[in-house]
Amino acid sequence: MSKRRNRSHHEYNDTQATLLMAVFGGTCAFFSVETIFPDVMESLGHQMSKLPGWKLHMGSMCVGILVFLIALFFLEVLEARSNITAWRSSAPWLPLAGLAAMATASISPFTLS
């Protein structure tokens, strides 16, 4: 007689590791944009000199947050095998991405001349 294998009803859920990996991806994206952007500004010259420096840094932050959100969503899909669970874990971070995007696109009254 063969032994019957019992299926485990324990669900593996390691949210801390998933969050750390997503934060690492977002941080890498942020530092990559921060490193590459001065070279882009130098090559474009006078066209980019009109942008204030804080907008460039907010753009880098926005890219980092978006990469974090995308990485968190896909890592949760791979871990939980459920789009709904992945959406529930990544949706609370969407206002932060929207806030960074609005700060990047906003017009500063100090730069209007």
What is the predicted pLDDT for the residue at 59?
A: 82
What is the predicted pLDDT for the residue at 7?
A: 58
Residues 67-76 have pLDDT tens digits of 999 998 898 8
Residue 73 three-state SS: helix
pTM flag (> 0.75): no
Buried b (16+ CB within 10 A) or exposed e, 32-50: ebbeebeeeeeeeeeeeee
* Residue the block writes with tokens 């700060």: 103
Above 60 in pLDDT, residue 88? yes
Above 50 in pLDDT, residue 28? yes
Q: How far apart are CA 55 and CA 72, in angstroms?
A: 25
Q: Which amino acid is at 11?
A: E
What mean pLDDT do residues 43-55 have? 69
Q: Which amino acid is at 106?
A: S
